[in-house]
A and B are shown apart, each in its own frame.
Chain A
Amino acid sequence: MSSLATRPSDRLVTIIDVVLLVCAGIAVLAPVAWMVLSSFKQSYEVTAYPPTIFFEPTLDNYRSLSETTPFLQFGLNSLIVTIGSTLLGLILGAPAAFVVSWTRVTWPAIVTLLARMAPGTLFLLPWYVMFRQVDMIGTYWALILTHAVITMPIVIWVLLPFFDNIPRSVFEAAQVDGCSPLRIFWKIALPLVASGLAVSSILAFVFSWNYFLFALVLSNSDTKTLIAASFNFIGEGSTNWGGLMAAATLIALPPLILAVIVQRWLISGLTLGAVKG
């Protein structure tokens, strides 16, 4: 394909390409940059009209977040729910992916796709009735269990190709040596898919962190996650854009950093195997 770009007329095209690419990059980045810039502005400057690009940066917005809102408590809640549901997703999903890869019985994995397709409210309505009956609304466990509905399918579908890539002969040889499936899973297969475990944990973490709907209904003021608490910041934000943008920046930071780390596997992970990245 390299021959395509060698003619002089094509070289001209590449300059246009670069210009277009830079424009696309600006379109993607400018709103994010505006959010971050605004978070460092003084309160009188952030609502200045016309908007200012050059200003004296301040950390006041970040400082006041922890003073005027339970930001740290919300952050801790987010971490508890996200890490809990990621671990639960791994504990449930990793053995399941191994069994699906081994036996080629795929229906349990396909049923989990239901969770990816149906609107969250479809699950939230019966969960709400169920959790209300056992008095679990507002508990971390209600949030961890429901967020595991997001994380487990991710773990299964991300790990499946990793397990599939292990040559069958490895398992067969181990079986001939008298190794039971349990031991093969724990001692041979899991170490071989270590990178898959890392990728699926990170993706599960990101999606659980970003998930809004379940915590909106199933948390209370003590267990509210950062995402579900966004409404609190918007309420404040009507007068305080700097604080709102500081909160937005901090909430977006963990998923963005993690996504950059796993970007090689991102697309195949996000599309649950529908697209090879």
Chain B
Amino acid sequence: MKSAKSQLTALGAPAVIFTVAMIAFPVVYTLYLSLEAFSSTGTTRFVGAGNYTRMVQDANFWDGVTITFYLYFLSLALQLVFGTALALLLFRAKRLPGFVRSLFISPFMMPPVVAGMMWLVILDPSLGAANYILTSLGLPPSEWLASPQWVVPTLAMIDTWQWSPYVALIVLGGLQSLPPSVYEAAEIDGASGWKRFWRITLPLLLPTLVTAMVLRSVDLLRFFDLIYITTQGGPANASLTLNIYGFRTGFEFFQLGYASALMVTLSIIVLGVTLVLNRLRHAVAW
């Protein structure tokens, strides 16, 4: 049996070594880098908590936190509402032709970068199709991604377009696993459709919704591709999320130590939100 055990170890070893070398060690190394300052000549100097004290005094950092959470809450709320609505529709349609399903997976399997390129053209303030539609409906045109005021809602809208179908397919799986008997009982009691949804479907669906929230939260808090390809944090830093700010600090200004401190902080935020949502998931489990 001893050789059986060593063979199993040998099978698992490459993955463990790779995980340690490429995932675990770099995380520890970032923690160390976050205690250093990099000069423009490439030399490093140990500054202890210096990067972190700089961070709490950095207005860009606090703005980044605010923008990150603004974008996060707005996108998450929109995606949960639209995703659940779409799931209920798909569920009532019962037999779903395969091509309909393919249609709804296409937004989120498209690279976010391509979605960004696509929407850049559609939302172009002067020649885009979106403003043409708005003005033909008698509405005022918008600057969309070029407006400091509207850039975050616009990014949230694009992300909602891309990921609501994903939330919908997760929720649809939850709907399909609900016991039919509760509906039949509710119908015998004469509960209306609206009441059935609020009193029965939604409470039973909560664990699935929280799972979808966890999955989307992880992506939304570190939102990167779409912002970087469309605005790089602009205009006037209005979409400079913590992740974008950290990336630019590291790879445009090469302040690798300070960027590490920012990324460690963002990772702790992601971890914290995930842990809170996981507790919530246990609380609503049935």
* A interface list, Cβ under 8 A from B: 1, 3-5, 13-14, 17-18, 20-21, 24-25, 27-29, 31-32, 34-35, 38, 47, 49-51, 91-93, 95-96, 98-100, 102-103, 108, 111-112, 114-130, 145-146, 148-149, 152, 156, 175, 180-182, 185, 206, 209-210, 212-213, 216-217, 227, 230-231, 233-234, 237, 241, 244-245, 247-248, 251-252, 255-256, 259-260, 263, 266-267, 270-271, 274-277
Instruction: Give chain B interface residues in 257-284, CB to chain A under 8 Å.
Output: 259-260, 263-264, 266-267, 270-271, 274
Given A17-B89, A25-B100, 13 extra CB contacts under 8 A: A1-B183, A13-B193, A21-B89, A92-B14, A96-B12, A117-B271, A123-B22, A124-B251, A209-B111, A210-B110, A210-B113, A245-B117, A277-B169
B contact patch SS: helix
Chain B residues near A130: list those with CB within 8 A.
26, 29
Q: Tally the A-B contacts, defined by beta carbons under 8 Å.
A: 274
> Is B132 within 8 A of A50, CB to CB?
yes
Asked if B114 is at the interface (CB within 8 A of a chain A CB), the reply is yes
CB proximity of A104 to chain B, nearest CB, Å:
12
CB proximity of A218 to chain B, nearest CB, Å:
10
> Is A119 within 8 A of B243, CB to CB?
yes
> Is B105 within 8 A of A263, CB to CB?
yes
Instruction: Give chain B interface residues in 113-147, CB to chain A under 8 Å.
Output: 113-114, 116-122, 126-127, 129, 132, 136
> Is A35 within 8 A of B4, CB to CB?
no
Q: For the complex, what is the distance from the CA of A31 to the CA of B266, rounded to whole Å? A: 32
Chain B residues near A156: list those with CB within 8 A.
15
> Is A152 within 8 A of B18, CB to CB?
yes
Given contacts A24-B86, A28-B103, contact A126 B33 (CB under 8 A): yes
Complex: chain A residue closest to B223, CB-CB: A119
> Is B8 within 8 A of A121, CB to CB?
no
Taking each of A103, A118, A149, which has the highest tally of chain B beta carbons within 10 Å of its own beta carbon? A118
> Is A263 within 8 A of B101, CB to CB?
yes
Chain B residues near A149: list those with CB within 8 A.
22-23
> Is A146 within 8 A of B22, CB to CB?
yes
Asked if B76 is at the interface (CB within 8 A of a chain A CB), the reply is no
Kindly identify which residue among B3, B11, B110, B114 contacts A95, using a CB–CB cutoff of 8 Å. B11
Chain B residues near A13: list those with CB within 8 A.
92, 193
Chain B residues near A1: list those with CB within 8 A.
180, 183-184
Q: For the complex, what is the distance from the CA of A152 to the CA of B14, rounded to whole Å? A: 11
Asked if B236 is at the interface (CB within 8 A of a chain A CB), the reply is no
Kindly identify which residue among A14, A35, A122 contacts B27, using a CB–CB cutoff of 8 Å. A122
24 pairs, CB–CB < 8 Å, chain A vs chain B: A17-B89, A17-B93, A18-B93, A28-B106, A31-B119, A31-B122, A34-B122, A49-B132, A92-B14, A108-B16, A114-B24, A118-B222, A119-B243, A122-B26, A125-B260, A125-B263, A126-B27, A149-B23, A210-B110, A213-B225, A230-B113, A237-B121, A255-B111, A256-B106
> Is B121 within 8 A of A119, CB to CB?
no
> Is A114 within 8 A of B23, CB to CB?
yes
CB proximity of B121 to chain A, nearest CB, Å:
5
Asked if B104 is at the interface (CB within 8 A of a chain A CB), the reply is yes
> Is A263 within 8 A of B119, CB to CB?
no
> Is A25 within 8 A of B103, CB to CB?
yes
Taking each of A25, A103, A119, A206, which has the highest tally of chain B beta carbons within 10 Å of its own beta carbon? A119
> Is B118 within 8 A of A31, CB to CB?
yes
> Is B256 within 8 A of A21, CB to CB?
no
Chain B residues near A125: list those with CB within 8 A.
30, 33, 250, 256, 259-260, 263
Instruction: Give chain B interface residues in 79-96, CB to chain A under 8 Å.
Output: 86, 89-90, 92-94
> Is B118 within 8 A of A271, CB to CB?
no
Q: For the complex, what is the distance from the CA of A129 to the CA of B254, rounded to whole Å? A: 11
Chain B residues near A24: list those with CB within 8 A.
86, 89
> Is A148 within 8 A of B22, CB to CB?
yes
Asked if B73 is at the interface (CB within 8 A of a chain A CB), the reply is no
> Is A14 within 8 A of B184, CB to CB?
no
> Is A95 within 8 A of B183, CB to CB?
no
> Is A32 within 8 A of B263, CB to CB?
no
Asked if B170 is at the interface (CB within 8 A of a chain A CB), the reply is yes
Q: For the complex, what is the distance from the CA of A25 to the CA of B101, rounded to whole Å? A: 10
> Is B170 within 8 A of A267, CB to CB?
yes
Given contacts A115-B23, A122-B264, contact A152 B229 (CB under 8 A): no
Kindly identify which residue among B111, B126, B184 contacts A212, using a CB–CB cutoff of 8 Å. B111
Chain A residues near B101: list those with CB within 8 A.
263
> Is A126 within 8 A of B30, CB to CB?
yes
Q: For the complex, what is the distance from the CA of A1 to the CA of B8, rounded to whole Å? A: 48
> Is A119 within 8 A of B270, CB to CB?
yes
Taking each of B14, B19, B222, which has the highest tally of chain A beta carbons within 10 Å of its own beta carbon? B19
Given contacts A24-B86, A267-B173, contact A92 B33 (CB under 8 A): no
Asked if B197 is at the interface (CB within 8 A of a chain A CB), the reply is no
> Is A51 within 8 A of B211, CB to CB?
no
Given contacts A230-B229, A252-B114, contact A185 B11 (CB under 8 A): yes
Chain B residues near A21: list those with CB within 8 A.
89-90, 93, 100
CB proximity of B188 to chain A, nearest CB, Å:
10
Q: For the complex, what is the distance from the CA of A170 to the CA of B164, rounded to whole Å? A: 42
